[in-house]
A and B are shown apart, each in its own frame.
Chain A
Amino acid sequence: MTFSIPSNPLPRYLLQIADDQLVMGHRNSEWTGLGPILEEDIAFSSIAQDQVGHSLAFYEILHQTHGLDNPDQTAFNRPENGMLSSWLVEQTIGDYAFSLVRHWCYDQAVALRYESLAQIQDPNLQALAMKLRGEVKYHTFHAQTWMKSLLQGSEESRLRMLSALKEVWPLALGMFEAWPGETDLMQEPGSQGDPWYPGEKNLQNLWQTRAMESLASWGVEVEVLGLQRLEPVLGGRQGYHSEHLAPLLEEMTSVFRLDPQAEW
């Protein structure tokens, strides 16, 4: 099981997106059958399924255009330090408040990444970003409606969401960790001539502004909550992970490892 992280900026960036989606999809699918009500169980499972699907689409392009191994090998046959997913997505599901707040933070960020990727020159990637954007629009709608309802619901629901928010926030900031090659990718002209990738710092600012606006509109006093003072949890984009990723990979790849060369 050897793997070398792509040295070119574009495939590395795509791998980060794909790994986030794979790990997030796998984690969210752990709610299947345990969701709070039937309708939500189905909706959340469906979102998880979408996310694994998105990772496959990117692994496919990495395989066909950037010389990585086929999607099954790339997804299931890599050492932990070859995974470029953020710490946010690998954390265990916690309670539903934690999973919902994480889903909200995560999919808002994905929406921003796809918006920017839709400006790339490569027609295949552009088309893919446009296609996947529609699905993410539903993910963010789903997340927003739950956030709003529970933050404006009972005292208990509000407190549980606020506490989850404080727990998730530093991890969510970690999604925007700087990575080698980032500044090179920021120079690449997009379909309109201007650079298509704004870089992690700018993405984070945009994400944070939108998130703060939404929270304020739901009556959350963000200054009182102290979100601005929280520091990001970093490491994921360099292949360093928390204690939660290894068991996840162990479980996710258990069937694959029975026969790594099997044709599915």
Chain B
Amino acid sequence: MPILSLDPRVNRLQAEEVPADQAPVLVPGDHWPSYQVFHQRRRGEKHSSVGIVHAPSLEIAMAMAKEQFARRGETSNLWVVCTADVLEMDYADEDVFRTTPAKSYRDPAGYKVNDKIEAYKAQQTTLR
């Protein structure tokens, strides 16, 4: 399949197979890739994904991200990452996660320790 776009999100649509000889010639600069923007509210907190911007370079993506995603409220830092640099799983492989919800023994709620804690607390009170 020819590349339809520099933006992997467009390619994933697989909207229409374009014959190789009719595929548009991509000129860098004419068609801009997308960049994922991550926003950090305060120092020490995690950066969260907030959306995308289109830009011809990382630096311009940053210049755009500042106004698109840090116009309001608190911000201490931003990251921009070219969408094409993100390695993404294929949804066809979603089945690797299918049995996970059933594994309740991995869930901390699955441990019955509360009885033991209560018993220990009671014992401490009696001893005092």
Contacts and interface: CB of A to CB of B under 8 A. Distances in A.
A34 interface: no
Nearest to B55: A39
B6 interface: no
Nearest to A43: B67
A242 interface: no
Interface hub of A38, A40, A146, A157 (most chain B Cβ within 10 A): A40
A141 interface: yes
Secondary structure dominating the interface of A: helix
Nearest to B59: A145
Contacts of A157: 29
A146 B64 CA distance: 11
Interface string B25-67: 0000100100000000000000000000111110110111011
A103 B68 CA distance: 20
Interface string A168-208: 00000000000000000000000000000000000000000
A33 to B, nearest CB: 15
Interface in A111-142: 138, 141-142
A142 B61 CA distance: 10
B71 interface: yes
A81 interface: no
A39 B37 CA distance: 13
Contacts of B56: 149, 153
Interface in B53-106: 53-57, 59-60, 62-64, 66-68, 71
A217 interface: no
Contacts of B71: 46
A73 to B, nearest CB: 30
Given A39-B54, A154-B29, A138 B68 contact: no
B57 A40 contact: no
A149 B54 contact: no
Interface string A238-262: 0000000000000000000000000
A39 B71 CA distance: 12
A145 B29 contact: no
B63 A42 contact: no
Contact of A42 (B29, B55, B67): B67
Contacts of A153: 29, 56
Interface of A: 37-40, 42-43, 46, 138, 141-142, 145-146, 148-149, 153-154, 157
8 contacts: A37-B54, A42-B64, A46-B67, A138-B66, A142-B63, A145-B60, A149-B60, A153-B56
Given A43-B66, A145-B60, 20 more contacts: A37-B54, A39-B54, A39-B55, A39-B64, A39-B68, A40-B64, A42-B64, A42-B68, A43-B63, A43-B68, A138-B66, A141-B63, A145-B57, A145-B59, A145-B62, A145-B63, A148-B59, A149-B56, A149-B57, A153-B29
